[in-house]
């Protein structure tokens, strides 16, 4: 930021108090949320009075319009996410190269609308870790209830709310956005770009997330109880038989989904148009490939879950009958639309992790990625096949029976590109010079856990086996092997791997390793026995179960508390290392990708000079090979990247 920068958020003439109230920030966010909420309230009441709909004060539509739609818009407007666009729209003076909201000099800058992809990356990661902890605590409450058969601590509505909100937070507020946060930080750096293509859109995408998370959590305090129909929200249970809390889920998904779509568009445009000179598609790091393919999935699939949640909410609030068979609706329609997103969502939650693991394994094995092009192509194959497998979630649903065998074949085939990736990582490690730093441990943990999750996935792909284990604890075990053993392990790998680059400090390696071993052991003790109780006959989503499963469930619950404790080691390490860790060099892992060519943390605009990409990002062991050289900047390119 330079002295010549005009701060457009504040009118130069405004006085102190006026600036305090009217300037973009938390004060304005507060009163604008209230104002917008009041507007929404008035709108509903006015329309109901005008149409003579009794009762005029009906809480479901009032809460929906005022609290779940208008207030968040007011919050975003007050915080200043729309300021630049609003000025542009009404013809006020704007400056294209206004960098007033870019970069962070103090911790306060992280609580503002910031357009720096690195700041936004940190905002994402910290926010998602908060929701990870909250979601984890909900899981521990679920395990406390399940430690013994019968119901002990929670009534059925609360218990069903616990596991429903646990899953929604972990999926929509942790795994998906944590990957978006890591990619937000790493992708522009890896491309040699100064920022994302649309920095203001990027800022808006982030600020939608806390709204979604708070909405889902606050459904616990809504009269009638939390939404309690599972994160899948099947109609007609969720659309017509649930208290108001269900609408908090419907709307929470909309905000998180909108965030996801905007970020994905941003990644696509950034990756397609902002690669440094010489960075051809076949020279992109696999993390960039992974986020490119993930973004394709998000942009194509996420509108479907938005549709399913809108229809479900309309059935609930406006008494439409999309999924209400009593009035001509089709209950299975919900599942088809929902899974058309939510199966690709499994890959949205996995492909970025594949990217992280590719980076980590290449660097810590000191070897080029084995079969780089096939690795990239298998990502594309997963994208294409990923859209043709959704009905494997519906083998027992009563859908058209002929759909089962074709969907089984595509489901089994998708194991092939996934297998290619696993074998290629193993071949990358073969004959390498392996170092077992924490990121590498988590990558290897991922590899072994994901093999188990993938193999149980093949079992589930076989229709007759799926019919037996559908909706049992076997499914719970499978998804945790894939999403925890898979996704969460790769998120930890990525957080440790880029921690020096993000914070400029090194984390404590001993605590990192302790965190890994506690997580790895705790994870397996918690989730492996679930395969067994599921196969033997314990259904999922029940607070009460047959006494014969008592001892195994007690074991699982005790193990899960240990697993929960391991997170304390992680938090302690992250917080103390960020404050007092040793200063990190610019390239602690001796990586070749572009983010390691700049300082830790990187300068505000990433590169003082435009990098010239000259080769593959993984040329370890090739004498004299380079991925990129930092060439002296040419005059024309200075304008393009707007270095101040």
Partner 1 sequence: MRRGAIAPLIGIGVVAGGIAAAVALALPWLPTPASKEAARIHPLFWFVIVICIVVFAAVTAVMGYTIIRFRAAPDDDSDGPPIHGHTGLEIVWTLIPTLLVTAIGIVSAIVLARNDALGANVLRVNVTAQQFAWSFSYPEANGLTSGTLRLPKDRSVLLVFHAKDVIHSFWVPQFSQKQDTVPGIETRLHITPNRLGTFPVICTELCGLGHAVMRTQAIVMTPAAFDKWLHGQSSAVASPNSSVAGAAVFKNNACGACHTLKAAGTTGKVGPDLDKLAAEAQAAGQPLQDFVRQSIVDPNAYVAKGYAKNVMPATFGTALSKQELDALVQYLISSSKKG
Residues 395-454, interacting with partner 1 (CB under 8 A):
396-398, 401, 404-405, 408-409, 412-413, 415-416, 419-420, 422-424, 426-427, 429-436, 444, 447-448, 451-452
Q: How far is CA 534 from CA 297, 471, 486, in A?
A: 31, 9, 20
The span of 40-48, 170-178, 188-196, 470-478 binding partner 1 (CB under 8 A) equals 470-478
The span of 111-119, 166-174, 282-290, 326-334 binding partner 1 (CB under 8 A) equals 326-334
For residues 9 and 16, give the distance between their C-alpha atoms in angstroms, rounded to a whole number: 14
CB of 146: closest distance to partner 1 in angstroms?
11
Q: Does 461 bind partner 1 (CB under 8 A)?
A: yes
CB of 421: closest distance to partner 1 in angstroms?
10
The contact mask relative to partner 1 for 347-386 (x = CB under 8 A, - = no) is ------------------xxxx-xxxxx------------
Residues in 151-170 that interact with partner 1 by CB under 8 A? 151, 155-157, 160
Which of 464, 547, 624, 632 is close enough to bind partner 1 by CB under 8 A? 464
For residues 115 and 81, give the distance between their C-alpha atoms in angstroms, rounded to a whole number: 10
Which of 326, 547, 624, 632 is close enough to bind partner 1 by CB under 8 A? 326
Nearer to partner 1, 18 or 241 (CB): 241
Nearer to partner 1, 89 or 462 (CB): 462
CB of 621: closest distance to partner 1 in angstroms?
4
Beta bridge partners of 629: 612
CB of 255: closest distance to partner 1 in angstroms?
24
Which of 80, 177, 236, 252 is close enough to bind partner 1 by CB under 8 A? 236
Is residue 588 helix, strand or coil? coil
Nearer to partner 1, 39 or 234 (CB): 234
Pair 603, 191: CB distance under 8 Å: no
Nearer to partner 1, 366 or 510 (CB): 366
Which long-range contacts (C-beta less than 8 Å, at least 24 apart) are formed by 145-150?
A: 145/543, 146/543, 146/545, 146/553, 146/556, 146/557, 147/553, 147/554, 147/557, 147/558, 148/550, 148/553, 148/554, 149/544, 149/545, 149/546, 149/547, 149/549, 149/550, 149/553, 150/544
CB of 313: closest distance to partner 1 in angstroms?
17
Q: How far is CA 600 from CA 219, 367, 369, in A?
A: 41, 24, 25
For residues 338 and 341, give the distance between their C-alpha atoms in angstroms, rounded to a whole number: 6
Nearer to partner 1, 71 or 543 (CB): 543
Which of 48, 58, 87, 541 is close enough to bind partner 1 by CB under 8 A? 541
The contact mask relative to partner 1 for 476-515 (x = CB under 8 A, - = no) is ----------------------------------------
CB of 541: closest distance to partner 1 in angstroms?
4
Nearer to partner 1, 60 or 397 (CB): 397
Nearer to partner 1, 299 or 463 (CB): 463
Q: Does 550 bind partner 1 (CB under 8 A)?
A: no
CB of 500: closest distance to partner 1 in angstroms?
18
Which of 72, 230, 245, 494 is close enough to bind partner 1 by CB under 8 A? 230
Nearer to partner 1, 237 or 265 (CB): 237
CB of 155: closest distance to partner 1 in angstroms?
7
Pair 550, 122: CB distance under 8 Å: no
Which of 110, 310, 330, 561 is close enough to bind partner 1 by CB under 8 A? 330
Nearer to partner 1, 73 or 469 (CB): 469
Which residues, in sequence order, are CB contacts of 593 under 8 Å at separation 6+? 190, 285, 287, 359, 617, 627
Cα angle value 550/545/557 (rounded, 5°):
45
Nearer to partner 1, 287 or 469 (CB): 469
Which of 47, 462, 568, 571 is close enough to bind partner 1 by CB under 8 A? 462
Is residue 583 helix, strand or coil? strand
Which residues, in sequence order, are CB contacts of 61 under 8 Å at separation 6+? 44, 48, 317, 318
Nearer to partner 1, 224 or 644 (CB): 224
CB of 417: closest distance to partner 1 in angstroms?
8
CB of 324: closest distance to partner 1 in angstroms?
8
By C-alpha distance, which of 44, 49, 75 is closest to 61? Answer: 44
For residues 470 and 397, give the distance between their C-alpha atoms in angstroms, rounded to a whole number: 10
CB of 230: closest distance to partner 1 in angstroms?
5
Nearer to partner 1, 88 or 436 (CB): 436
Element (H, E) at 628: strand 628-630
Residues in 590-609 that interact with partner 1 by CB under 8 A? 590
CB of 532: closest distance to partner 1 in angstroms?
6
Which sign does the torsion angle of CA 510, 515, 516, 522 carry?
positive
Reduced 3-state DSSP string for 382-425:
HHHHHCCCHHHHHCCCCCCHHHHHHHHHHHHHCHHHHHHHHHHH
Pair 485, 456: CB distance under 8 Å: no
> Which residue in this structure is represented by tokens 């040699």?
192
Contacts with partner 1: how many residues (CB under 8 A)? 94
Nearer to partner 1, 177 or 368 (CB): 368
By C-alpha distance, which of 19, 109, 33, 129 is closest to 76? Answer: 33
Q: How far is CA 185 from CA 217, 437, 445, 583, 618, in A?
A: 27, 21, 24, 19, 20
CB of 602: closest distance to partner 1 in angstroms?
25
Q: What is the DSSP letter of 634?
A: P
Nearer to partner 1, 319 or 590 (CB): 590
CB of 254: closest distance to partner 1 in angstroms?
22
Nearer to partner 1, 25 or 529 (CB): 529
The span of 68-76, 325-333, 511-519, 597-605 binding partner 1 (CB under 8 A) equals 325-333
- State the greatest distance between any 2 C-alpha atoms of the chain, in Å, as a whole number: 81
């Amino acid at each position: 930021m330079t002295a010549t920068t005009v701060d457009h958020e504040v009118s130069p003439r405004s006085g102190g108090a006026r600036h305090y109230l009217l300037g973009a920030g938390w004060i304005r966010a507060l009163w604008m949320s209230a104002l917008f909420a009041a507007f929404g309230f008035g709108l509903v009441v006015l329309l109901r009075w005008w149409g003579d709909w009794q009762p005029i004060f009906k809480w479901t539509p009032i809460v929906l319009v005022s609290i779940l739609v208008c207030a968040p818009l007011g919050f975003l407007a007050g915080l200043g996410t729309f300021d630049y666009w609003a000025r542009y729209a009404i013809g006020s003076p704007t400056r294209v190269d206004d960098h007033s909201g870019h970069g962070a000099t103090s911790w306060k800058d992280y609580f503002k609308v910031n357009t720096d992809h690195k700041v936004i990356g940190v905002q994402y990661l910290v926010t998602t870790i908060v929701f990870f902890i909250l979601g984890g605590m909900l899981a521990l409450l679920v395990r406390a209830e399940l430690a013994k058969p019968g119901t002990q601590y929670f009534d059925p509505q609360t218990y069903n709310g616990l596991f429903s909100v646990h899953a929604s937070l972990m999926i929509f507020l942790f795994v998906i956005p944590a990957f978006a946060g890591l990619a937000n930080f790493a992708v522009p750096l890896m491309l040699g770009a100064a920022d994302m293509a649309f920095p203001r859109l990027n800022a808006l995408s982030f600020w939608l997330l806390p709204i979604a998370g708070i909405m889902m959590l606050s459904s616990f305090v809504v009269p009638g109880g939390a939404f309690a129909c599972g994160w899948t929200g099947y109609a007609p249970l969720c659309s017509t038989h649930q208290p108001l809390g269900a609408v908090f889920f419907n709307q929470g998904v909309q905000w998180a989904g909108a965030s996801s779509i905007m970020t994905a568009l941003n990644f696509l445009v950034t990756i397609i148009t902002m690669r440094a000179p010489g960075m051809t598609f076949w020279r992109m790091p696999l993390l960039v490939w992974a986020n490119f393919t993930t973004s394709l999935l998000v942009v194509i699939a996420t509108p479907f879950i938005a549709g399913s949640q809108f229809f479900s909410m309309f059935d609930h609030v406006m008494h439409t009958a999309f999924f209400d068979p009593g009035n001509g609706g089709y209950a299975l329609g919900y599942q088809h639309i929902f899974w058309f997103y939510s199966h690709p969502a499994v890959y949205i939650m996995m492909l970025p992790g594949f990217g992280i693991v590719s980076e980590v394994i290449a660097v810590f094995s000191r070897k080029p990625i084995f079969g780089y092009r096939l690795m990239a192509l298998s990502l594309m194959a997963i994208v294409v096949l990923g859209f043709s497998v959704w009905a494997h979630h519906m083998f027992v649903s009563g859908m058209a029976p002929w759909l089962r065998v074709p969907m089984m074949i595509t489901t089994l085939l998708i194991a092939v590109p996934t297998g290619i990736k696993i074998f290629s990582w193993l071949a990358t490690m073969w004959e390498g010079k392996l170092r077992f730093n924490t990121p590498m441990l988590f990558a290897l943990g991922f590899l072994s856990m994901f093999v188990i999750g993938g193999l149980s996935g093949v079992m589930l792909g076989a229709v007759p086996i799926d019919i037996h284990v559908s909706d049992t604890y076997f499914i719970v075990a499978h998804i945790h092997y894939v999403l925890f053993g898979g996704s969460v392990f790769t998120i930890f790998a990525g957080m440790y791997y880029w921690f020096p680059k993000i914070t400029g400090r090194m984390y404590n390696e001993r605590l990192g390793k302790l965190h890994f071993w506690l997580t790895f052991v705790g994870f397996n003790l918690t989730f492996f026995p679930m395969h067994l109780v599921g196969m033997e006959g314990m259904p999922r989503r029940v607070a009460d179960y047959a006494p014969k499963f008592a001892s195994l469930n007690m074991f699982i619950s005790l193990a899960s508390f240990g697993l929960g404790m391991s997170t304390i080691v992680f938090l302690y390490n992250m917080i103390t290392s960020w404050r007092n860790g040793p200063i990190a060099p610019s390239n602690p892992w001796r990586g070749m990708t572009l983010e390691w060519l700049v300082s830790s943390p990187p300068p505000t605009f990433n590169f003082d000079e435009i990098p010239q990409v000259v080769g593959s990002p993984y040329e370890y062991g090739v004498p004299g090979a380079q991925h990129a050289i930092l060439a002296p900047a040419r005059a024309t390119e200075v304008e393009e990247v707007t270095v101040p």
